[in-house]
Chains A and B, each alone.
Chain A
Amino acid sequence: MFSAEIMLKRLINIKLFKKQYMLSSTISANIEDAVLQGINKVNYTSSLDINEPSLNSPVPIFKILNDAGDISSNCKSIIIPENDELIKMYKSMVLLSIMDKMLYESQRQGRISFYMTNEGEEAAQIGSAAGLHFNDLVYGQYREAGVLLFRGFKPEQFMNQCFGNVDDLGKGKQMPVHYGSKNLNFVTLSSPLTTQLPQAVGSAYSFKTLKTDRCTIVYFGEGAASEGDAHAAFNFASTLDCPIIFFCRNNGYAISTPANEQYRGDGIVSQGPGYGIATIRVDGNDILAVYNAIIKAREYVMTNTRPLLLEAMTYRRGHHSTSEDSTAYRSKDEIEQWSNKNPITRFKKLLEKNNLWNDQNEVEYVNETKKQLMQSFTIASKKNKPNWKEMFNDVYHEIPDNLLKQMNSLEDHLSKYSDRYSKE
């Protein structure tokens, strides 16, 4: 039997032996080639380091125009649109902003059920729309009316949708601002966030295999980027080599949730490299920067048949929607601070400095636009709603028996209770 002391000594000896043994087996070179599926040539390391995210060096924001409307002299080989195009871009921003105010007010008066403004994000929308090809397929979230407007959607078409009248292309089925246009290559919007991202990837794959000169662009907010579908889309686009531009509008808030409660990385742009996706971060309030970024992004995705993630930094100056008051969760000072960075004003200064626009043009255009929008609004508000039978159409390509039966049953009901249903 061993005494406790002897036991202890023995244990110590074993430990020492082990230590020596391990020391003697230390290899001098600790770098070997690793053969790992899906990882490019990589070395091993003997130093146990935690890889901290590089949050102290955020991806810089590409910017051309300063707040005074001057083009930075450091910007090389940027593309400035023709004068006519510049004016069209500016007018679209102003029109969008006036239409927003009008429809926002009409919702407050109960004339339409819901509205979402684009205030503060006009440059991100119009600048990107101007840089795309008309054939490129657009998938949006719900704050991209400017893209549709720039492509030629008429104010009365927006209003028809918001009223859900007989001329609404969507036949009165969706809530206001859920626009869509087949002719303008703008896929109809839906409320569930981020569902459009993997769909846009699928369409991009289709364009690739058909060898058409088309890409897709998909817009989404920084809140939507937290959904699982964003992960799905980034990864599919990358592994399946799809020509798609992911356009993230990072406006600082998802309803009341500020971006620092949404993610802890360097915005959305930092997610790109993890998926093997190229990225651009751009000043979303600078229409020329967005325009140039999109042209470059489009060229990249078409040339390489690869996705690109673009993050436009902006600020949602309006409320999230007509259903809430944003001053409940952010200060008026903060909103005021951003109103000084109004993308429309910034662009206007540039145009004025180049004698493409002046105060008189502004007054005339604003007055004329208001007049025309009021006319369109009055016409749209007076149009009839679609026939109730429309409710049963387009559930399927054809109307199945069960739906025909339900339609007939409603017809019978209405013939007996017609006085209980308003006629409009």
Chain B
Amino acid sequence: MHAAINKYSSVCNATKNILCGCIKRHSSHFVYHPERISNELGKTSKKNMYQAINSAMDLVLSKDPNSVVFGEDVGFGGVFRCTSGLRERYGKDRVFNTPLCEQGIVGFGIGLAVAGTTAIAEIQFADYMFPALDQLVNEAAKYRYRSGNLFDCGKLTVRTPCSAVGHGALYHSQSPESFYAHAPGLKIVMPRSAQTAKGLLLSCVRDPNPCIFFEPKIMYRLAVDDVPDDDYELPLGKADVLIEGRDITLIGWGTQVHVLLEVAEIADKDFGISCEVIDLVTILPWDKQTVSNSVKKTGRAIVSHEAPLTGGFGAEISASIQEDCFLHLESPIRRVTGYDTPFPHVFEKFYLPNKWKCLQAIKELVNY
């Protein structure tokens, strides 16, 4: 894992100057910032996020004969194509459809993991994960603890598409990470790119703890990176500092990282404000140290996520910063998030914590 961290830090440092490589997409509320090519990770190919995720599962299935991929409609390739070709390559006993029942999918996955099988379960949309909340929170999260480590389901990974997609409305847009972040025992991860998706998914699958892997679905096709062909892992529980700055720390994850990267660029260019941008990457257990170090340096912080404000994970981060960095803070911590409403259909552009809302917050805090 250490080797992976070292390899990765070179990728992160290099992303300081990635803004020139960004791709404009008029259909979305953000600009995708591709990852830099890392020679240390070997030969790469252009892949979008679903292809990178497919490549990760392909590697798992080929290297670990006792591993399976299952969920609703994964057999024919998945509604987002993440599992395409896998059933043909590994057989229908290892890549298979389940009945349409989320609590069954997660419970079944726990049982596979208890018996020693590497289980990669898919929930078709994160919005539909709530029927499995009991299995995730009461069972998966507590398996090792309650048995005194006699049994565990560390070989379980639950993948699920999440977050805004432009027109997903109430049940194809949710970012429910904070519901699960209140469950000690789970690991919760959200990648920002094709390159990080592959490395983080491989880490989740091999991590000896049950993991939930949230995939921002808007990036499935839009996020194109140079993705290493080989196997590589990126560290869980470690945040990435993507841009170093002096005046304010911006913290986000998933799609929102790209909003913050663009905001940082505008703030710098138009107002001379130097932003430090952090991708939290892992929601649970999260990298408090990297966040604290950054805020102690800049004295200001904004946490931004698509999920609603109240009870969102931004509240956890803000409270923690306040506790750890009280003497260094020069303004209140601000949360720029979705509103405390269900995720709306036609009002999405007003709902999202977009770059202009973030920019307004930055200016207000710097002038506080």
A-B contact count (CB 8 A): 161
A204 adjacent to chain B (CB < 8 Å): yes
A236 to B149, CA, bound (A): 27
A168 to B147, CA, bound (A): 10
B147:A240 contact, CB within 8 angstroms = no
Contacting A at CB under 8 A, from B62-111, are: 66, 68, 93-94, 96, 98-99, 101, 103-104, 106-111
- Known A180-B147, A192-B134, A198-B135: A240·B110 in contact at CB below 8 Å: no
Contacting B at CB under 8 A, from A169-217, are: 169-171, 173-174, 178, 180-182, 187-188, 190, 192, 195, 197-207, 209-210, 216
A171 to B145, CA, bound (A): 9
A199:B104 contact, CB within 8 angstroms = no
B103:A228 contact, CB within 8 angstroms = yes
A216 to B107, CA, bound (A): 15
A181:B150 contact, CB within 8 angstroms = yes
B152 adjacent to chain A (CB < 8 Å): yes
- Known A188-B146, A236-B108: A396·B103 in contact at CB below 8 Å: no
In the complex, what residues of B have CB within 8 A of residue A174's CB? 146
Across the interface, name the chain A residue whose C-beta is closest to B104: A232
A232:B101 contact, CB within 8 angstroms = yes
Contacting B at CB under 8 A, from A379-424, are: 393-398, 400-403
A37 nearest CB across to chain B (Å): 13
Q: How many residues of B contact A (CB 8 A)?
A: 51
A341 adjacent to chain B (CB < 8 Å): no
A402 to B322, CA, bound (A): 16
Picked from A199, A207, A231, the residue with its CB within 8 Å of the CB of B108 is A199
A239 to B288, CA, bound (A): 45
A397:B208 contact, CB within 8 angstroms = yes
A232:B107 contact, CB within 8 angstroms = yes
A391 nearest CB across to chain B (Å): 9
In the complex, what residues of B have CB within 8 A of residue A180's CB? 147-148, 150-151
In the complex, what residues of B have CB within 8 A of residue A168's CB? 148
B185:A195 contact, CB within 8 angstroms = no
A199 to B93, CA, bound (A): 18
B153 nearest CB across to chain A (Å): 8
Across the interface, name the chain B residue whose C-beta is closest to A198: B107
Q: A-facing mask of B173-196, CB < 8 A → 1, else 0?
A: 000000000001101000000000
Picked from B117, B187, B289, the residue with its CB within 8 Å of the CB of A401 is B289
A236:B148 contact, CB within 8 angstroms = no
B151:A188 contact, CB within 8 angstroms = yes
A233:B139 contact, CB within 8 angstroms = no
- Known A198-B104, A198-B135, A202-B108: A395·B119 in contact at CB below 8 Å: no
A285 adjacent to chain B (CB < 8 Å): no
Q: How many residues of A contact B (CB 8 A)?
A: 49
A170 to B146, CA, bound (A): 6
B114 adjacent to chain A (CB < 8 Å): yes
A396 to B149, CA, bound (A): 9
B134:A195 contact, CB within 8 angstroms = yes
A4 nearest CB across to chain B (Å): 51
Picked from A188, A195, A239, A396, the residue with its CB within 8 Å of the CB of B107 is A195
In the complex, what residues of B have CB within 8 A of residue A169's CB? 147-148, 150
A125 adjacent to chain B (CB < 8 Å): no
The CB with the most chain A CB atoms within 10 A, among B139, B146, B184, B207, is that of B146
In the complex, what residues of B have CB within 8 A of residue A232's CB? 99, 101, 103-104, 107-108
A198:B108 contact, CB within 8 angstroms = yes
- Known A170-B147, A198-B104, A394-B144: A190·B117 in contact at CB below 8 Å: no
B99:A236 contact, CB within 8 angstroms = yes
Picked from B94, B148, B149, B209, the residue with its CB within 8 Å of the CB of A209 is B94
- Known A188-B150, A195-B134, A240-B96: A396·B110 in contact at CB below 8 Å: no
B209:A396 contact, CB within 8 angstroms = yes
A61 nearest CB across to chain B (Å): 30
B345 adjacent to chain A (CB < 8 Å): no
A100 adjacent to chain B (CB < 8 Å): no
- Known A239-B98, A240-B98: A203·B148 in contact at CB below 8 Å: no
A229:B114 contact, CB within 8 angstroms = no
In the complex, what residues of A have CB within 8 A of residue B110's CB? 198-199, 202
A137 adjacent to chain B (CB < 8 Å): yes
In the complex, what residues of A have CB within 8 A of residue B134's CB? 192, 195, 229
B116 adjacent to chain A (CB < 8 Å): yes
A235 adjacent to chain B (CB < 8 Å): yes
A240 to B187, CA, bound (A): 28
In the complex, what residues of A have CB within 8 A of residue B185's CB? 395-396
A369 to B208, CA, bound (A): 43
In the complex, what residues of A have CB within 8 A of residue B104's CB? 198, 201, 229, 232-233, 235-236
A232 to B112, CA, bound (A): 15
A149 to B26, CA, bound (A): 67
B59 adjacent to chain A (CB < 8 Å): no
A198 to B153, CA, bound (A): 14
A169 to B144, CA, bound (A): 12
Picked from A202, A398, A401, the residue with its CB within 8 Å of the CB of B115 is A202
B148:A397 contact, CB within 8 angstroms = no
B135:A401 contact, CB within 8 angstroms = no
In the complex, what residues of A have CB within 8 A of residue B208's CB? 397-398
Contacting B at CB under 8 A, from A27-45, are: none
A205 to B98, CA, bound (A): 12
Q: A-facing mask of B255-294, CB < 8 A → 1, else 0?
A: 0000000000000000000000000000001101100000
In the complex, what residues of A have CB within 8 A of residue B66's CB? 206, 209-210
Picked from B114, B145, B150, the residue with its CB within 8 Å of the CB of A199 is B114
A171:B148 contact, CB within 8 angstroms = yes
A205:B148 contact, CB within 8 angstroms = no
A163 nearest CB across to chain B (Å): 14
Can you pick out 29 interface pairs between chain A and chain B where the beta carbons lie within 8 Å of each other?
A137-B115, A173-B145, A174-B146, A180-B150, A182-B150, A182-B151, A188-B148, A195-B134, A197-B107, A199-B111, A199-B114, A201-B107, A202-B107, A202-B108, A202-B111, A202-B119, A205-B108, A209-B68, A209-B94, A210-B117, A228-B103, A229-B107, A232-B103, A232-B108, A233-B107, A395-B144, A395-B185, A397-B208, A401-B289
In the complex, besides A188-B147, A396-B144, A396-B187, 17 extra interface pairs with C-beta distance below 8 angstroms are A178-B146, A180-B151, A195-B135, A198-B111, A199-B139, A202-B107, A202-B110, A202-B111, A205-B111, A206-B115, A210-B117, A216-B111, A235-B99, A236-B98, A240-B96, A240-B108, A396-B285
Q: Which 10 A-B pairs have the closest CB atoms?
A: A202-B111, A198-B107, A232-B104, A188-B147, A206-B115, A199-B111, A171-B148, A397-B208, A400-B285, A203-B115
